């Protein structure tokens, strides 16, 4: 296992806490489970739909207008997935 640090909105942390208490498990275990069930699908979509060169990638942090741009790109990828179904 590798350790990472993520920053989440307080309401999302509260939701993670609530669910992890019911399961019961750590927040880390819950996030790992949720991601592991879905990340491969998203990864495959990204490879199928890539439209930029890796050299052109600029990573964005979830701050200000970047939040909207990140969400828009995420939705574009999901919309592309729906087209393939």
Domain boundaries, the chain: 10-84
The C-alpha atoms of residue 42 and residue 38 are separated, in whole angstroms, by 7
What is the chain's pLDDT, residue by residue, as a tens digit (85 residues)?
Answer: 899 999 999 999 999 999 999 999 999 999 999 989 888 877 877 776 666 545 555 566 666 777 788 788 778 777 766 654 4
Is the pTM for the entire model greater than 0.85? no
Q: Are 69 and 60 in contact (CB under 8 A)?
A: yes
CA distance 21 to 34: 15
């Amino acid at each position: 296992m590798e350790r990472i640090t993520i920053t989440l909105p307080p309401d999302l942390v509260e939701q993670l806490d609530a669910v992890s208490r019911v399961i019961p498990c750590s927040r880390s275990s819950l996030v790992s489970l949720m991601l592991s069930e879905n990340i491969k699908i998203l990864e495959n979509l990204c490879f199928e739909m890539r439209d930029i060169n890796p050299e052109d990638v600029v990573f964005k942090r979830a701050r200000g207008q970047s939040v909207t741009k990140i969400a828009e790109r995420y939705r574009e990828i999901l919309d592309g997935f729906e087209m393939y179904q």
